[in-house]
Amino acid sequence: MPVDILAIAAHPDDIELGCAGTLVRWKTRGGRFGLVDLTRGEMGTRGDAETRRREGTRAAEILGAEFRETLDLGDGGLSKSRENELALIDLIRREKPRLILTSFPEDRHPDHRRAGELVTDAAFYSGLRKIETSHPAHRPQQTLYFSTAYTHAPTFVVDVTEAMETRRAAIRAFTSQFHDPASAEPQTVLSQAGFLAAIEARARHFGFMVGVEFGEGFVSRRPPRVDDPVAAFEGFEPGF
Ligand SMILES: [Zn+2]
C-alpha cells in the first residue's frame, strides 16, 4: 500500500528535527508516511550506528510511521553516485509517495546538502520509465524542503501546534545526540543545552509567521495551489 508522504534525509534525527510535526499531523488525519535515513549516522560524534538505529526505531513508533528504512550510502561523505541514485529511485518507486520531504540542498552539513540534491534528482528520475529498476516508474507530485541548520524563507508553513508534544517525544528518543548532563561523550552543536530550545524557537517563529503557536516551514520550487486565499490568512492580527 503506497505511502502519501516519504521523508528522506541523511541522518537518523534529521527528519525529526525538520518535519516531524507535519508527519504527525498527516497521520492524525488518517494519512500514511514512511521515513528513510540515507545513512546509519555512523560518523556522528556521539553514539554509534546501533544506538542510533534503536533510537530511530523508537522515534518512528512515536511518530506513527509505516516504516523506517535505513540505507547505507556513507555518513560523512554521502555520495551522489549513480548507484546510490538508482537505489533511491527504486525505493521511491516501491513506496509511490505523492510528496517527498527532504533537507534543503543548502546547509551547514555537506551530507544534508548532498541528501537534498540526491533526493531531488532521484524523485525526478523515478518518473522516467526507461530507467529500469525493479519497480515501475512513478513520479511524486512535488519535493518539499525543510531547513536544518540554516533557515530558509518558507514557501508555506504547516500548523503543527497540536503535534508538538509528539514531535518533542520523537526528538527526545535520540538520547545519544542531545543534551544529557550524565553523558561523558564530547559536546556537539546538537548536544549543547540550548539546542533543543533553539529548535523549539524555530517552530515558534514559523508558527508566528502564520498566526499559530508552532509551525514547520517548507520551501517548494513551485507554489502550492490555494483554493481559499481568505481562509489561508485567517488568524492574523489586523495589520500584522
Ligand atoms: Zn544530520
pLDDT digits (tens), the chain, 240 positions: 999 999 999 999 999 999 999 999 999 999 999 999 999 988 888 888 888 899 999 999 999 999 999 999 988 999 999 999 999 999 999 999 999 999 999 999 999 999 999 999 999 999 999 999 999 999 999 999 999 889 899 999 999 999 999 999 999 999 888 888 888 888 888 888 899 999 999 999 999 999 999 999 999 999 999 999 999 988 776 554
Residue 94 CA to ligand 1 centre (angstroms): 25
C-alpha cell at position 232: 489561508
Residue 15 CA to ligand 1 centre (angstroms): 9
Q: Do 81 and 46 touch, CB atoms closer than 8 A?
A: no
Task: Name the helix (H) or strand (E) containing 196.
Answer: helix 195-209
Residue 14 CA to ligand 1 centre (angstroms): 5
Using CA atoms of 6, 211, 178, 47 in order, give the dihedral in degrees to the nearest 10. 10
First to last CA, the chain: 44
Ion ligand 1: protein residues whose beta carbon lies under 5 Å? 11, 14
pLDDT at 70: 95
Contacts of 189 (CB under 8 A, 6+ apart): 149, 195
Q: Nearest-CA neighbor of 101 among 212, 25, 1?
A: 25
Q: Do 155 and 219 touch, CB atoms closer than 8 A?
A: yes
Residue 13 CA to ligand 1 centre (angstroms): 7
Residue 112 CA to ligand 1 centre (angstroms): 6
The CA distances from residue 62 to 16, 88, 147, 221, 236, in Å, are 11, 25, 22, 30, 32
Residue 82 CA to ligand 1 centre (angstroms): 22
Residue 231 CA to ligand 1 centre (angstroms): 35
